[in-house]
Amino acid sequence: MDDAVVLGKKGYSLSKTLGEGSYGKVKSAYCDRLKRNVAIKIIDKRKTPQDFLERFLPREIEALKRLQHPSIIKTYEIFETSAGKVYIVMELGEKGDLLDYIKITGAMKEDIARIKFQQLASAIKHCHDSDFAHRDLKCENILLDVDLNIKLSDFGFSKSLSRDENGKTILSKTFCGSAAYAAPEVLQGIPCDPRASDIWSLGVILYTMVYALMPFDDSNVRNMISIQKQHRIPFPSSKNLTVECKDLIYRLLQPNVSQRMCIDEVLKHSWLHINASTGDLRVHFPRRQAHTACR
C-alpha cells in the first residue's frame, strides 16, 4: 500500500519530503489528532541491510522512546505495517537543520551560539545521564523549531551504554558518524567511552557555529588525525572570538580522552555563563578547570 494511503488511515495527510535518510525518507505531514504538522521517517525494512534491522533500528526506536527532553525531538508514535514499513512520527523541525541554517545565515554571533550550544549540551547531558551516547552528532542531525530552538534528532547510531559486573562502562569499538565530526580515538578504532566521543563532536559543532567553517579538513583522514592528536586547532583571526569561547572549543577538541571534559564540566564552562548584555560572567568559574574524571 502507498504511504499516503497508510498514513491517511491513521489521520495523517502526507506532504513534502524533508530529507533523504540513509535508509528511508523523511516527510512532513499534517496530523488531524494533534492539529499540527509533524515529520514522519519512513523506513522500508525490505530495502535495508540486516545489521541495520537487527542492531541500529531497534536502538533508534529504544532511544526515541526513552529520551524525553525539551531539546530532543519528540516522538509521537511509531508503527509498522505487515508489508514491513516502519513509520516514525516525530515533532517537526520547522526551520530545518543546523547545517542549512549556518549555510544561509553564516557564522553566529557568540551570544546566539551560546543559547543554541547550551540547549544542545543540555540535550546531551540528558542522553548521557540516561546512559545513552548519540554517536552521530553533526549539524545535519540538529534540527531547529519555529523559534530556532535546538532539537536534537537522528538516534540511528545511538547506543545505550553497557556496563561490566563492576559497573564500569564497556568501551565501544564501532565507528559511527561522519569523519569530520568523529574523535581521533573513533577514527583510529581505539575502544572508547562513546560519551567522550560525543563531547569531541560537540567541539566540532560549536566551532562550526561560530566560524561557519569545519575545524579539520577531512579530505585526508590520516593527516587529519595527526593534526588532531597534536591538539592543533586553527582559530582564524578574521573573527574575533572571546578567550572563553576559544578555551571551550580547545577543551572539547582535546585529543586525550582522559583529559577531555565530561558533559557536566561542559555545562559549567565560563563561556556558557557570560551575560549576553553586559559581557560579564554571571557565575564565576575558574578559567582553568580541573579535569575531574567523571567516566
Ligand X SMILES: Nc1ncnc2c1ncn2[C@@H]1O[C@H](COP(=O)(O)OP(=O)(O)O)[C@@H](O)[C@H]1O
Amino acid identity of residue 77, one-letter, is E
Count Cα neighbours of 5 within 13 Å in the Cβ-side half-sphere.
4
Total residues interacting with ligand X, rule: CB under 6 A? 19
* 244 contacts Mg ion (rule: CB under 5 A): no
**Considering the complex, what minimum distance in angstroms separates the CB of residue 94 from ligand X?**
7
Closest CA to 128 of 195, 202, 183: 195
- Is residue 201 a contact residue for Mg ion (CB under 5 A)? no
* Partner whose binding site includes residue 86, from Mg ion, ligand X, none (CB under 5 to 8 Å by kind): none
**19 lies in the binding site for ligand X (CB under 6 A):** yes
Contact (CB, 8 A) for 276 and 111: yes
Task: Render 96-125 in DSSP notation, one character per residue.
Answer: -BHHHHHHHH-SPPHHHHHHHHHHHHHHHH
Paired strand residues for 77: 89
Closest approach, Cβ 198 to ligand X, in A, equals: 16
Work out whether 22 is an interface residue with ligand X (CB under 6 A): yes
Residue 141 interacting with Mg ion (CB under 5 A)? yes
* Residue 129 annotated in active site: no
| Nearer of residues 158 and 254 to ligand X, judged by Cβ | 158
Residue among 97, 136, 193, 198 flagged as catalytic: 136
Q: By rule CB under 6 A, what string of x and - marks binding of each residue 66-105 to ligand X?
A: -------x----------------xxxx---x--------
Assigned C-alpha cell, 54: 537487527
Binding to ligand X by residue 61, rule CB under 6 A?
no
Calpha distance 193→185 (Å, rounded):
10
Cβ 246 to Mg ion, closest distance in Å? 29
CA distance 60 to 160: 10
Of the candidate spans 14-22, 190-198, 212-220, 277-285, the one that interacts with ligand X by CB under 6 A turns out to be 14-22
Contacts of residue 138, defined as CB under 8 A and 6 or more positions apart, other chains included, come to 99, 177, 178, 180, 181, 201, 204, 205
Number of residues that bind Mg ion (CB under 5 A): 2
Q: Is 103 assigned a ligand-binding role in the annotation?
A: no
Q: Are 142 and 205 in contact (CB under 8 A)?
A: yes
Q: Which residues bind ligand X (CB under 6 A)?
A: 18-19, 21-22, 26, 39, 41, 73, 90-93, 97, 140-141, 143, 153-154, 156
Q: Which residues are annotated as a binding site for ATP?
A: 41
Q: Which amino acids are annotated catalytic?
A: 136
